[in-house]
């Protein structure tokens, strides 16, 4: 059973379909691993033991009767603690929401349950999802799989580490400024940022509703494709025959490579070389439109986040980690007219970006320009926290600001990722490209 903890979700699904893996025994194996793992409490807010076992028993009955609902029927998955779960606390990593119990599952969780997935539990996250480091002194800060003394990346910190430490085959997180891709890269996983509007946000605790997206963290591109289909109640992308031959990829040299540290740069450049060796046509270009979009971040994120949470925050500001409180309250400094003007400018920049990249299958960037800092250092110095957080989120925010879908893959260098950015609603094409790239990378 220990081998099950290292298998991909798709592999486990095939084992269930062949009756080689019992869904109940599988759920019990993961629940035991969560209970006994030294970092279990720092990764999971709360396992949903009874729900998992009930759902696994139903999956077992379907498998035995030949009535499986799909490729992942009976496979356990963890859920970031901003996805509403009926009758189970959903607190989004914040003391402001302590004791919050939704009356119904989020729409995407209902879709997953209808497809036979097993809910293992809720995972820790950055406070109200407003940090890229995964440091949360209010609840817990999950450790990075490559360095337990370091942060794991956020805000889907527990989601990433639940998979990386073998406490879930796959996880569901959210991505507003990079919160799926960043922790995926730092923990050597695949992470899919979906297009805004692709997946329902009904039953998701919001941060910035105009940027919020949901996506899977997994061990393979195949898993990401299957999970996307489950979450929206659709059909998975066809990954058969995917190839890099003749695919045109642009290495973005505007902003994304600035101030990048040695290890992420080495991982990224080695990945680019292997993609080229596999037949991809690589071009390097500068796109000033990207820098213009990134410059709008302060006018867009904090005002929307503060507008979303103003009443709850100002009622009990003492409950928040001061650095996160400060980030939210930064929204007070932006006027309404400036916010509206920034969105108008961003819509124009999005159109310009799509026109300038139209001849390429994807744009490549290092997923994160840094490696995860130590938890102790982050906690000891707010200025250090702020600087590391902004740098960590810089490259991933390109995809959010420009309204793109994005996929990060491990480069083979620990803690580093290569991201593929594609136009909105092109997830199927992106996943096919990712499957071909995955075969070319370690």
Residues 255 and 221 occupy one common structural domain: no
CATH number at residue 97: 3.90.1300.10
Please check whether residues 288 and 203 belong to one and the same domain: no
Give a yes or no: residue 184 inside a domain.
Answer: yes
C-alpha to C-alpha distance for 36 and 72, rounded to whole angstroms:
25
Last residue of a domain, one of 189, 204, 232: 232
Nearest one of 408, 409, 405, 410 to 427, comparing CA atoms: 405
Could you tell me if 324 and 401 lie in one domain? yes
Same domain, 137 and 113: yes
Task: Using DSSP, state whether 104 is helix, strand or coil.
Answer: coil
Dihedral-angle region of residue 93 (phi above 0 means left; psi in -120 to 50 means alpha; beta otherwise): left
State yes or no: is 179 an active-site residue: yes
Helix (H) or strand (E) holding 70: none
Residues 400 and 277 in one domain: yes
Q: Phi then psi for 124, rounded to 5 degrees?
A: -65, 160
| pLDDT computed for residue 442 by the predictor | 79
In angstroms, how far is CA 158 from the centroid of its own chain? 10
Identify whether residues 332 and 225 lie together within a single domain.
no
For residue 430, give both structure tokens.
Answer: 């992106």
Domain count, the chain: 2
End-to-end Cα distance, the chain: 25
Yes or no: say if 168 and 162 are a contact pair by the CB < 8 Å rule.
Answer: yes
Give dist(CA 139, CA 121) in Å, integer: 16
Catalytic residue among 78, 126, 155, 157: 155
Check: CB of residue 127 under 8 Å from CB of residue 48.
Answer: no
* Separation in Å, CA 24 to CA 5, 15, 29, 79, 120: 14, 13, 9, 19, 12
* pLDDT per residue as tens, the chain (442 positions): 899 999 999 999 999 999 999 999 999 999 999 999 999 999 999 999 999 999 999 999 999 999 999 999 999 999 999 999 999 999 999 999 999 999 999 999 999 999 999 999 999 999 999 999 999 999 999 999 999 999 999 999 999 999 999 999 999 999 999 999 999 999 999 999 999 999 999 999 999 999 999 999 999 999 999 999 999 999 999 999 999 999 999 999 999 999 999 999 999 999 999 999 999 999 999 999 999 999 999 999 999 999 999 999 999 999 999 999 999 999 999 999 999 999 999 999 999 999 999 999 999 999 999 999 999 999 999 999 999 999 999 999 999 999 999 999 999 999 999 999 999 999 999 999 999 999 999 7
Establish if 311 belongs to a structural domain: no
Q: What tokens appear for 318 in the block? A: 């003492």
| Dist CA 313 CA 407 (whole Å) | 33
Q: Is 307 contained in some domain?
A: no
225 and 337 share one domain: no
Active-site residue, selected from the candidate residues 156, 162, 174, 179: 179
* Whether residue 69 sits in one domain with residue 12: yes
Q: Which residue among the candidates 8, 78, 80, 126 is catalytic per the annotation?
A: 80
Strand segments (E) across 75-145: 76-80, 118-123, 143-144
Residue 1, pLDDT score: 80
Residue 22 inside a domain? The answer is yes
Q: What Å distances lie between residue 247 and 21, 244, 279, 426, CA to CA?
A: 38, 5, 7, 15
Q: Which residues of 86-95 are buried (b: 16+ CB within 10 A; e: fewer)?
A: eebebbbbbe
Helix, strand, coil % (nearest 5) of the chain?
45, 15, 40
Phi, psi of 171 (to 5 degrees): -145, 155
Q: Which among 232, 256, 279 is the end of a domain?
A: 232
Assigned domain for 412 exists: yes
| Helix axis angle, 221-232 to 427-440, nearest 10° | 160
Asked if the structure places residue 396 within a domain, the reply is: yes
What span, in angstroms and rounded, lies between the C-alpha atoms of 171 and 26? Answer: 16
Domain that holds residue 391: 248-298+320-440
Where does 253-390 show beta strands of DSSP type E? 281-285, 362-366
Q: Look at residues 200, 232, 264 and tell me which one is the last residue of a structural domain.
A: 232
Is there a single domain that holds both residue 252 and residue 165? no
Q: 80 an active-site residue?
A: yes
Residue 241 in domain: no
For residue 243, being part of any structural domain is answered with: no
* 109, 155: one domain: yes
Question: What sign does the CA torsion over 291, 294, 298, 304 have?
Answer: positive
Contacts of 275 (CB under 8 A, 6+ apart): 244, 249, 282, 364, 437, 440, 441
The answer to whether residues 113 and 34 belong to one domain is yes
Q: Does 148 share its domain with 80? A: yes
CA-to-CA separations, 141 to 160, 218, 322, in angstroms, rounded: 12, 20, 16
Active site residue 122: no
């Amino acid at each position: 059973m220990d081998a099950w903890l290292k298998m991909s979700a798709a592999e486990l699904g095939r084992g269930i379909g062949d009756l080689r893996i019992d869904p109940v025994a599988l759920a019990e194996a993961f629940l035991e691993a969560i209970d006994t793992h030294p970092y279990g409490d720092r990764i999971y807010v709360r396992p949903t033991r009874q729900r998992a076992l009930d759902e696994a028993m139903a999956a077992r009955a379907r498998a035995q009767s030949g009535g499986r609902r799909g490729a992942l029927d009976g496979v356990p998955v963890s859920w970031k603690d901003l996805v509403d779960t009926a009758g189970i606390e959903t607190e989004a990593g914040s003391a402001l929401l302590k004791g919050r119990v939704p009356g119904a599952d989020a729409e995407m969780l209902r879709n997953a349950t209808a497809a036979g997935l097993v809910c293992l539990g809720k995972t820790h996250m950055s406070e109200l999802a407003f940090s890229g480091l995964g440091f949360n002194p209010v609840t817990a800060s999950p450790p990075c799989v490559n360095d337990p003394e370091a942060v794991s990346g956020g805000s889907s910190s527990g989601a990433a580490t639940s998979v990386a430490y073998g406490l879930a085959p796959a996880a569901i997180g959210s991505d507003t400024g990079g919160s799926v891709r960043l922790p995926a890269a730092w923990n050597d996983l695949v992470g899919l940022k979906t297009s805004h509007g692709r997946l329902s946000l009904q039953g998701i605790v919001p941060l910035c509703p105009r940027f919020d997206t949901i996506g899977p963290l997994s061990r393979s591109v195949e898993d990401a494709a299957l999970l996307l289909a489950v979450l929206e109640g659709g059909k998975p992308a066809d990954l058969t025959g995917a190839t890099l031959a003749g695919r045109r990829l642009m290495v973005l040299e505007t902003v994304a490579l600035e101030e990048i540290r040695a290890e992420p740069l080495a991982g990224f450049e080695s990945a680019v070389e292997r993609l080229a060796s596999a037949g991809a046509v690589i071009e390097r270009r500068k796109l000033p439109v990207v820098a213009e979009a990134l410059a709008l971040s302060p006018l867009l994120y904090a005002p929307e986040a503060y507008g979303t949470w103003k009443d709850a925050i100002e009622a009990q500001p003492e409950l928040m980690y001061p650095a996160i409180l400060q980030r939210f309250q930064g929204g007070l400094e932006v006027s309404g007219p400036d916010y509206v003007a920034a969105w108008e400018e961003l819509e124009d920049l999005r159109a310009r970006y799509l026109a300038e990249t139209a001849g390429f299958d994807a744009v490549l960037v290092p997923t994160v320009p840094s490696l995860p800092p130590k938890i102790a250092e982050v906690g000891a110095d707010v200025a250090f926290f702020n600087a590391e957080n902004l740098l960590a989120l810089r490259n991933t925010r390109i995809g959010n600001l420009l309204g793109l879908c994005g996929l990060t893959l491990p480069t083979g260098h620990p803690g580093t990722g290569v991201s593929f950015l594609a136009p909105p609603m092109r997830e199927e094409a992106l996943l096919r490209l990712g499957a071909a790239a995955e075969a070319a990378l370690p």
